[in-house]
Structure 1
């Protein structure tokens, strides 16, 4: 398993709720777009209760190969949701929908 920089803890919920969803932010240190994406992910997950984690692309060769040209990348439950810029409303809808 790749290293995780930070984990946010959401509220637990019933079947299919945002609290059971996991958002993964894939980025690297010193990346201003990653900093912007982190702020959006942290805010939206805080509002919806979804858990989130952050993975450093420079410490995981598989993530590096898959996503280097797209960072920051946001996954929702392991599936790619977006890259470069994170739209907070689109992420919220994905977590609550």
Structure 2
């Protein structure tokens, strides 16, 4: 698979002891793996600024710094967003 000119920056913001976060990890992992992309996870437990901004919406998915989902990850929507960012047909 060719490396895209711009691989979207996918970040999952989580917290400890969060069952929705576990579901979100699985969803983000499935979508990004299918597209050959990586992703990172950041915890509000370790970052006061993230905790202040996102505490009531955890988990949160950011794509290129833009909030795209929270609480439950819509895998189809995330796939569409990432494909669009990669300029790949669905």
Normalized against structure 1, the TM-score is what? Answer: 0.81
Q: Which residue of 1 aligns with 2:21?
A: 34
CA RMSD of aligned residues (A): 1.3
Extract unaligned runs of 5+ from structure 1. Answer: 1-10
Residue 78 (structure 1) aligned with residue 65 (structure 2)? yes
Matches within 5 A, 1:19-30: 20-30=7-17
Is there any run of 5+ residues in structure 2 with no aligned partner, and where?
85-90
1:13-53 deviation digits (Å, cap 9, x = unpaired) = 2324xxx1121000112100000000000010000122200
Higher strand share: 1
Cα distance 1:60–1:82, how it changes in 2: closer, same or farther (>3 A)? same
| In the alignment, structure 1 residue 61 sits paired with structure 2 residue 51 | no
Give the Cα–Cα distance (whole angstroms) in 2 for the partners of residues 24 and 30 of structure 1.
Answer: 19
* Conserved? CA contact 1:22–1:76, under 8 Å: yes
